[in-house]
């Protein structure tokens, strides 16, 4: 039951509460009013309001959009991409900022102290700002109307370099100070120094101390002497102010000042100081390339593929080429690259010799800045002792020339076409005299590939990549001529022909269409047909008429399908493409020949093996094969695990081997016999495009395949004497003499099912009585056949009977002649006529 409360009691309670509230509130307001009457209280409130307003204004004007200092905990500076050869040796770097990132512990203590002495002596003591320095800077700025200065600590410099802009203003200085406080809260002093030493710009395109140590002294930081450390420590204030080339004494004075500060702080002893001060500056003249220049065209192809996959700069993502710090393992073999470059250059010069001066490489304007203009073209060469120069003016029958470093010289016997401003190649002739050199107008490309996995070992895309960056090995589309024929005959082998199939080598005409009319083909040089010959002979002697007959019989639709499947090109089914009228690149064709050696299995030409990010994680791998059980901790008792074969089977393995075996005959008795002296199992095919405009050779061994072509960039007639066997094959030979020296003489391995049969080389018929000899032109050879396609053990009955009758007629004629010579001895006779068994025995067995 609820308790009863009288009405009068409830009203009294409510009145009492209201009174209490009024009394308490009134008392508080009264106290405020009393305080407000006091002047000090009003001043205090005004000060607090001003502080709040100031803080609000600071936040709005300076701190509202400041970056988060915590991002520095995950900060990764832009790093160059390092390129390595097949053996892991560094060969190149892609960099717009030369930088090497080190950890704080990797920097010598004296080096750190040198930077502290020069930049921020109290770094380990302050909380981000140097207040005495700020006060001094404020006084200087008030008394000067010039560029504002400030006593920036190392922390402030990190804030400016990594999180802010280089804007010159008081607003930026305030933002810098605020951010410095934040950085000190989230990073240790050692972490701040690590960022600073890895990031600062020190001239000569060097970002960070390690890169600067290489640029100025050719050393790593742990090899620097004290006086060298002190010099590097003066560079953050303005590298151009202390350039050793033109401000050496100024640099020495500033260096000695740093050494003095280190002595004052007790960081070095007096003996160390005096010994360092006595040293010359010691900086090398130029920071130069860290790596010897290797594989120009190859390295550029790697760069192009990396940019296509990962992007060029940080905007493209964390793995960009010029800031991602990638580690790239390539398939480049520097030794083979040099052999390739030398062989192609020799071939180009050999063709150009005796043809006169081909003209200038390029042209520039001649004025008082000609040296800078020449340097800015970046045209160069590393061939022999050649140098790039510019013609300044003609002098009699010679000309004055100049070099990019401002030096001058003279050439005698200058051609009439040489004019001022022409960029030329010259070589020393003693003193200031030089000889004009002829850069070949003809060009070409060469690729060397591993036929087991498609890795490209070497690539040369012209005479010199610094004269022309156009890579003719991968970008030049050229007619391959007869080097396309192996794929025509491979189609024929897949459609019923054999190496011993007889094909007529005689004029062949075909009606193409109403618009194209009748087309008649001819052999190279217009040579007459040789009648019926074996398919093998047609390949070895590169007979056009036999090729178009084989293509016609196999069907051009099938031929162009084979060519497309092998990655050479996508052509229309016209017979002209069977003779190499379609365009392709030397890289594509070399890869197709490698697939023949690889027994018809697909290969992808690659120049990059794998790519790692800056932390070592693999982010790209060319070989994507999966090897099950390859990482077992212990042997499981089964056979060794191996990756599954890569790629699809694009051609019948037996067909591929048949073509390789047939092309071995091109070397031993065909159009590339000049390669026989290499004395090892080789296959290959020469090619000469119509005109002739291009000459080719593609071939190699079971371990190495190379392709090379020569021709003008704007297709032009190379001369009637130009042939693949006499111009392109010698380039391959020069390369192979060095590249294959010491390599085992490995034979080409036949796939399962291939049958080796003795045949008559000329007729293609099977032989049982003879035996192949070492002579490549032996009448009896081993030939390769698919099962059930080899020549049969007997010949047709009518052929055998005809040969028996012919033998009998020959014997009868012999008897008559004998009787006429010895009519007096009528009783004598030559015995009975031979029977069929005697005839076959004389012939050496059944055909």
Active-site residue set: 119, 482
Side-chain half-sphere CA neighbours of 454 within 13 A: 23
Determine the Cα–Cα distance for residues 710 and 722; give it in Å rounded to an integer: 10
Q: How far is CA 140 from CA 147, 157, 224, 626, in A?
A: 10, 20, 36, 69
Q: How far is CA 836 from CA 781, 791, 799, in A?
A: 27, 23, 13
What is the C-alpha R_g of the chain? 42
Q: What is the DSSP letter of 483?
A: G
Residues contacting residue 813 through CB under 8 Å, at least 6 positions apart: none
Long-range contacts of 669-673 (CB under 8 A, 24+ apart): 669/540, 669/776, 669/777, 670/539, 670/540, 670/541, 670/542, 671/540, 671/541, 671/542, 671/723, 671/724, 671/725, 672/697, 672/699, 672/724, 672/725, 672/729, 673/725
Determine the Cα–Cα distance for residues 334 and 91; give it in Å rounded to an integer: 9
Q: What strands, in cross-sheet order, belong to the sheet with 81-84? A: 90-94, 81-84, 327-330, 608-612, 618-621
Tell whether the torsion through CA atoms of 419, 420, 425 and 431 is positive or negative: positive
Indicate the pairing of strand 502-505 with strand 508-513.
unpaired
Strand partners, 460: 446
CB 550 within 8 A of CB 492: yes
Residue among 750, 778, 781 at smallest CA distance from 766: 781
CB 659 within 8 A of CB 750: no
Neighbours of 826 (CB within 10 A): 8
Residue among 115, 78, 82 at smallest CA distance from 224: 115
Angle at the Cα of 473 from the Cα atoms of 468 and 474, rounded to 5 degrees: 100
Determine the Cα–Cα distance for residues 496 and 426; give it in Å rounded to an integer: 59
């Amino acid at each position: 039951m609820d308790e009863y409360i009288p009405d009068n009691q409830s009203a009294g309670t409510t009145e009492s509460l209201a009174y209490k509230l009024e009394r308490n509130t009134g008392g508080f307001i009264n106290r405020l009013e009393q305080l407000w009457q006091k002047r000090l209280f009003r001043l205090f409130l005004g000060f607090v309001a001003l502080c709040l307003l100031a803080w609000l204004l600071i936040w709005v004007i300076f701190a509202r959009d400041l970056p988060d200092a915590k991002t520095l905990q995950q900060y990764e500076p832009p790093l160059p991409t390092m390129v390595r050869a097949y053996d892991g040796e560094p060969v190149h770097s892609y960099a717009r900022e030369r930088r090497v990132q080190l950890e704080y512990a990797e920097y010598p203590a004296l080096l750190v102290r040198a930077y502290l002495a020069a930049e921020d002596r109290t770094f380990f003591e302050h909380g981000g700002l140097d207040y005495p320095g700020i006060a001094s800077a404020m006084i200087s700025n008030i008394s000067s109307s010039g560029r504002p200065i400030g006593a920036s600590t190392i922390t402030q410099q990190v804030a400016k370099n990594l999180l802010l802009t280089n804007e010159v203003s008081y607003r930026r200085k305030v933002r810098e100070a605020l951010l410095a406080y934040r950085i000190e809260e989230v990073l240790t002093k050692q972490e701040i120094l690590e960022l600073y030493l890895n990031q600062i710009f020190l001239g000569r395109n060097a970002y960070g101390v390690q890169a600067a140590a290489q640029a100025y002294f050719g050393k790593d930081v742990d090899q620097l002497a004290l006086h060298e450390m002190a010099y590097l420590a003066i560079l953050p204030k303005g590298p151009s102010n202390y350039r050793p080339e033109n401000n050496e004494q100024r640099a020495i004075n500033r260096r000695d000042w740093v050494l003095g500060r280190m002595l004052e702080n007790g960081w070095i002893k007096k003996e160390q100081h005096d010994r360092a001060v006595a040293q010359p500056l010691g900086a090398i003249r130029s920071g130069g390339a860290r790596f010897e220049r290797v594989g120009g065209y190859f390295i550029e192809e790697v760069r192009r593929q990396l940019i296509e996959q990962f992007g060029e700069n940080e905007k493209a993502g964390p793995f960009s080429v010029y800031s991602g710090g990638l580690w790239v393992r390539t398939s480049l073999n520097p030794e083979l690259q040099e052999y390739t470059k030398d062989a192609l250059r020799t071939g180009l010069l050999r063709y150009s010799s005796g043809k006169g001066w081909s003209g200038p490489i390029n042209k520039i304007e001649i004025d008082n800045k000609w040296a800078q203009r020449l340097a800015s073209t970046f045209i160069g060469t590393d061939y022999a002792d050649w140098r790039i120069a510019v013609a300044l003016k003609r002098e009699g029958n010679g000309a004055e020339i100049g070099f990019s470093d401002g030096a001058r010289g003279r050439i005698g016997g200058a051609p009439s076409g040489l004019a001022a401003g022409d960029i030329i190649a010259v070589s020393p002739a003693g003193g200031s005299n030089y000889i004009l050199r002829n850069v070949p107008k003809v060009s070409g490309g060469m690729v060397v590939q591993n036929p087991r996995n498609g890795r490209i070992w070497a690539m040369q895309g012209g005479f010199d990549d610094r004269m022309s960056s156009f890579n003719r090995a991968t970008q030049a589309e050229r007619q391959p001529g007869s080097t396309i024929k192996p794929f025509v005959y491979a189609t024929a082998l897949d459609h019923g022909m054999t190496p011993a199939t007889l094909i007529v080598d005689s004029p062949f005409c075909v009606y193409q269409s109403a618009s194209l009319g009748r087309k008649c083909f001819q052999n190279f040089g217009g040579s007459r047909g040789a009648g019926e010959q074996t398919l093998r002979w047609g390949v070895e002697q590169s007979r056009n008429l036999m090729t178009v007959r084989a293509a016609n019989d196999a069907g051009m639709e099938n031929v162009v399908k084979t060519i497309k499947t092998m990655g050479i090109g996508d052509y229309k089914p016209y017979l002209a493409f069977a003779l190499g009228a379609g365009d392709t690149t030397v890289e594509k064709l070399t890869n197709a020949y490698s697939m023949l050696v690889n027994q018809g299995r697909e290969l992808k030409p690659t120049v990059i093996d794998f790519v790692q990010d800056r932390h070592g994680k693999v982010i790209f791998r060319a070989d994507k094969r999966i090897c099950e059980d390859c990482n077992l901790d212990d042997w499981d008792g089964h056979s060794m695990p191996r990756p599954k074969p890569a790629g699809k089977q694009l051609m019948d393995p037996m067909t591929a081997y048949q073509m390789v075996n047939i092309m071995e005959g091109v070397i031993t008795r065909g159009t590339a016999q000049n390669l026989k002296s290499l004395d090892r199992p080789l296959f290959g095919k020469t090619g000469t495009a119509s005109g002739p405009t291009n000459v080719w050779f593609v071939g190699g061994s079971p371990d190495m395949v190379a392709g090379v072509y020569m021709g003008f960039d704007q297709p032009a007639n190379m001369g009637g004497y130009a042939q693949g066997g006499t111009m392109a094959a010698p380039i391959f030979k020069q390369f192979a003499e060095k590249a294959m020296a010491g390599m085992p003489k490995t034979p080409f391995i036949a796939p399962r099912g291939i049958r080796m049969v003795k045949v008559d080389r000329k007729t293609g018929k099977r032989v049982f009585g003879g035996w192949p000899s070492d002579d490549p032109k032996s009448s009896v050879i081993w030939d390769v056949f698919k099962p059930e396609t080899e020549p049969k053990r007997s010949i047709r009955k009518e052929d055998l009977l005809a040969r028996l009758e012919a033998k009998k007629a020959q014997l009868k004629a012999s008897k008559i002649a004998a009787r006429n010579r010895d009519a007096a001895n009528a009783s004598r006779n030559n015995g009975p006529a031979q029977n069929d068994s005697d005839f076959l025995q004389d012939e050496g067995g059944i055909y």
